[in-house]
Structure 1
Amino acid sequence: MMAFDYDLFVIGAGSGGVRASRVAAAHGARVAVAEEHKVGGTCVVRGCVPKKLLVYGAHFAEDLSDARNFGWDVPTCGFNWPRLQANVLAAVDRIIDSYTSTLEHHQVEIFRERATVSGPQEVTLASGRTVTAERILIATGARPHIPDFPGCEHGITSNDVFHLETLPKRVLIAGAGYIANEFAGIFNEFGAQVTLINRSDVILRGYDESIRDRLLQISMTKGIDFRFNTSFKSIEKRDDGTLRVDLDGSDAMEVDTVLFATGRVPNTRGLGLEAAGVELDKGAVKVDADNQSSCPSIYAVGDVTNRVQLTPVAIREGQAFADTIYGNKPTRVDYSCIPSAVFSHPPMAGVGMTEGEARNRLGSIKVYQSDFRPMKNVLADRNERALYKMICESDTGRIVGLHMIGPDAPEILQVAAIAIKARLTKDAFDQTVALHPTMSEELVLMR
């Protein structure tokens, strides 16, 4: 008889959990996964996928305006939020079905209910059933943080944006990270009056200073109002549904929607991890390089850990876990060169060290830049400049950081990140013939 009901029980069917489940099953493991919401997790259901579709939809506001200078007689166009919303949610459902089919194809048993850890090798389902597994993988992701103050229950998070019945005309966004700036751009393009508040005077902390300053400049030019060194006192909901927001550090405001984009919290509350001997770090599961927690039979991947909260990282971690444990292929994720992007308007992207980080860590560096107005913006009479920035070691010329803001910056950076990973030098870029006329050619023309 089998000692356990399953070889692997995964709690959470997001990007990391689905990848780990599928690969482990393909290696021959008996796998089950529990998901209390929808298969696909944050990225597919209420994160990067539907948000990127909103970004595409929002960008048509500029494209339709620019088209006139390219000879198109574009009439005044209205925007239909319910139509876009329905199409986005339908697209999400298709992806959920695809994820589910993939798990079923690999004979992964899916429990559509909440699961908690009731022992080092035991899981209890919401239905009351208890199952055992040789190993348990925690892949429950993270949730939006909601600040605690009077009236905070009247605000929404990024989870709720996709289900708004009507598009708000006045939006107050709290936070200055990538989620805040992305939704600020989206709502602004849809015609809303957008105000972004932040407790400090810096947006997008951790990104290169020149790039984030350029985004701030462009965003303000587009009409987004930034109020720094500002925090909430209270929110009062009026009889007509509008919100009065009292602020510390700024005048009170009346808005239709308050969106909290103030960070994300690992989903470990109520999972029973502490009782199983799993050590937490501010709510996140502490794991080693092989995704193993302080309890030898319990592992964790993705946003629930104390590492990098990015979907592609969770997928790599899930793959590495399954290959190492069940595929006889020891694998560890390299966190040293992870590209990231902010799908703002315009988007920004970066990989490697920022200029400030490079100066602190390396001392002597060389910085190359290209500050230009994209050809399309010139003809469209759009006064937005792109900025590309390359940071290199002084003695070797090795590129240690590459950062950019401008149209299609994330698409361009993905290829450039390979060059950084391969430890190429500025000279290798200089020797590459430019592809003209493109924006990406600026990568090999920087001085």
Structure 2
Amino acid sequence: MSASATSYDFDLFVIGGGSGGVRCARIAAGHGARVGIAEERFWGGTCVNVGCVPKKIMVNAAEYGQWAEDAAAFGWSIETRGFNLATLAAARDAEVARLNGIYGRLLSGAGCTIFEARATFIDAHTLDVGGQRVTAERIVVATGGRPVRPEIPGAELGLLSDDVFGLQDLPRRVTVVGSGYIGLEFACILRGLGAEVDLVYRADLPLRGFDQDIRVAVKEAMEQQGIRQHCGHHPGRLDRLGDHLCLNLRGGEAIETDAVLFATGRVPNTAGLHLDAAGIACTAKGAIEVDEEHRTTAPNIYAIGDVLNRMNLTPVATAVGHALADTLFGNTPRRVSYRNIPTAVFTSPPIGTVGLTEADAAALGPVDVYLARFTPMRHTISGRPGRKTLMKLIVCQETRKVLGAHMLGEDAGEIMQGIGIAVAAGLTKEDFDRTIGIHPTAAEEFVTLRTRTREAGVRAAAAE
């Protein structure tokens, strides 16, 4: 702490009460710093309120419908009387409110000063917080991201991901535009809850940036569940036709629907913060520029989480916030690695992945690919289409390290958390092979993949 630190109201002020901002604030306070934090919308940010948590509750709801249908194959006689979105919404919103309150109590319990107001920059050490002038030696920007509509006529008639959580009735027909995490997850949720779903995206396969085998497998899974996919199409305009909508695609195709969900991207939530007043530089797309220490172009100001548009995952923001607080106030400087971060996509079935894709690994040199595809035990009985499992390991031929692991199938997210530890630790294929599998599980396949499916990257390595 500098000699002049006491001249400031706070040692640290955090703008944004999402997962990253809250963790940074309370850890810094635990180290003895005087901490203020401002949030203008809701504590917990996108993840708790209009993201991961309520979405996962809706994923669970969609799965219950499938389980009820599958029950007959296992000897159960279950009568279903349909789905009521209002009932789910009430339970979901109650849980969100509970978690929202926990975030506030965590901050106050740690000794943070809480401001339920918008904070904007006056200069590099001074903020306007709901009309109050506040100063801080150091400032962290953790305002997250926000969804955006495409720039097409009639886009205002469509929903954004935040809006889905305000629905009280399930539309009969929904068209989802976009094939990233959010688009695919909501397409599967809405289909699982009983809606007819069309999915529109620009590429030939969904989930750009993911492993090719996973992309192919999830496309096939959605097709078998009755999600109609319109690949290689761009939305042109959205019109209202009486009591329904019509999404016109470029090229002439039109989709009549009751609701359109635009899941075409998110942008850093930096508009209106007056970053220029503090000397903070941004990219052309509004992401705050930072160095390896997460310091902005203003030496006393840092930025974490989705405002960086780097790795937009809640656990990443949380980990970086914690590390930054330890570095600034805990005398334990450290960084969070952005390599080998495990993640999940809660489609139906879900996806789990960690490390390099086959294409990225092969670009670095020769790799061995181990791949298995099978029907999990539950669905050999239920016969439900679209629930096959795919599991894949990518192994460096030279070092034998497992460079990437990818899975589509039941409990993929739960399984991949453990596999993520192994990949981050640099374990080899032989380490996997020495591990005894848990039988009967799908997870055991990761330690019983003995036969190489193919090799890749050989030509690239030979060319060097």
TM surpasses 0.5? yes
The residue aligned with 1:204 is: 207
Per-residue deviation, residues 278-308 of structure 1 (Å, max 9, x unmatched): 1101201111111110001111110001421
Q: CA deviation at 1:192?
A: 0.6
Q: 2:432: which partner in 1?
A: 429
Structure-to-structure mapping, 1:33-112, within 5 angstroms: 33-112=37-116
What residue identity is the alignment partner of 2:127? V
Offset at residue 237 of structure 1 (A): 2.1
2:83 aligns to what SS in structure 1? coil
Task: Name the residue aligned to 2:295.
Answer: 292
User: C-alpha deviations, 1:122-176, integer Å up to 9, x for none?
Assistant: 00023x2111110111000000121111111111111010111211111111111
Shift of 1:369: 1.3
Instruction: State whether residues 355 and 403 of structure 2, in contact with CA within 8 Å, keep that contact through their aligned partners in structure 1.
Output: yes
Q: Which of the numbers 356, 363, 369 marks the counterpart of 2:359?
A: 356
Question: Counterpart in 1 of 2:263?
Answer: 261
* Distance in 1 of aligned mates of 2:76 and 2:121: 60
Unaligned 5+ residue runs, structure 2? 452-464
Q: How many Å separate the matches in 2 of 1:368 and 1:200?
A: 26
Q: CA deviation at 1:270?
A: 0.9
* Residue of structure 2 aligned with 1:135, choices 132, 135, 138: 138
What is the distance in 2 between the residues matched to 1:412 and 1:348?
A: 10
% identical aligned pairs: 47
C-alpha distance in 2, partners of 1:147/1:17?
29
Aligned amino acid, residue 31 of structure 2: H
1:379 counterpart residue number = 381
Q: 2:246 matched to which residue of 1?
A: 244
Q: Which ranges of structure 1 fall in alignment gaps of 5 or more residues?
A: none
Indicate the residue corresponding to 1:224 in structure 2: 227
Match of 1:116 among 103, 116, 120: 120
Alpha carbons 1:182, 1:343 under 8 Å: kept: yes
Shift of 1:62: 1.1
Contact 1:157 1:261 in 2 (8 A): yes
8 Å CA contact retained: 1:230, 1:250: no
* Cα separation, 2, equivalents of 1:427 and 1:157: 46
The answer on whether the counterparts of 2:267 and 2:309 sit within 8 Å (CA) in structure 1 is no
Q: What TM-score comes out, normalization by structure 1 length?
A: 0.97
Number of residue equivalences: 444
After TM superposition, give the deviation of residue 250 of structure 1 in Å: 4.8
Aligned AA (1:110): I
Does residue 29 of structure 1 match 2:25?
no
Partner of 2:393: 390
Matched, 1:5 2:15: no
Shift of 1:198: 1.1
Give the distance between the partners of 2:91 and 2:180, measured in 1 at CA.
27
1:174 paired residue number: 177
Q: Distance in 1 between matches of 2:129 and 2:48?
A: 24
Distance 1:250 1:51, change over 3 A: farther
- Partners of 2:84 and 2:169 within 8 A in 1: no
Q: Which amino acid aligns with 1:272?
A: H
CA displacement at 1:275 relative to structure 2: 2.2
| Counterpart Cα distance in 2 of 1:212 and 1:229 | 15
State the alpha-carbon separation in 2 of the partners of residues 306 and 277 from structure 1: 19
Decide whether aligned partners of structure 1 residues 431 and 82 sit closer, same or farther in structure 2, where only a CA change above 3 A counts: same
2:39 aligned partner, one-letter code: E
The range that moved more, 248-257 or 205-214, is: 248-257
Within the candidate set 163, 167, 181, 1:164 is matched to 167
How far, CA to CA, are the matches of 2:191 and 2:127 in structure 1? 46
Say which SS state the counterpart of residue 280 (structure 1) adopts. coil
Q: Alignment partner for residue 19 of structure 2, among 3, 9, 15?
A: 15
* 2:314 is the alignment partner of 1:279: no
Residue 321 of structure 2 is matched in structure 1 by 318
RMSD: 1.1
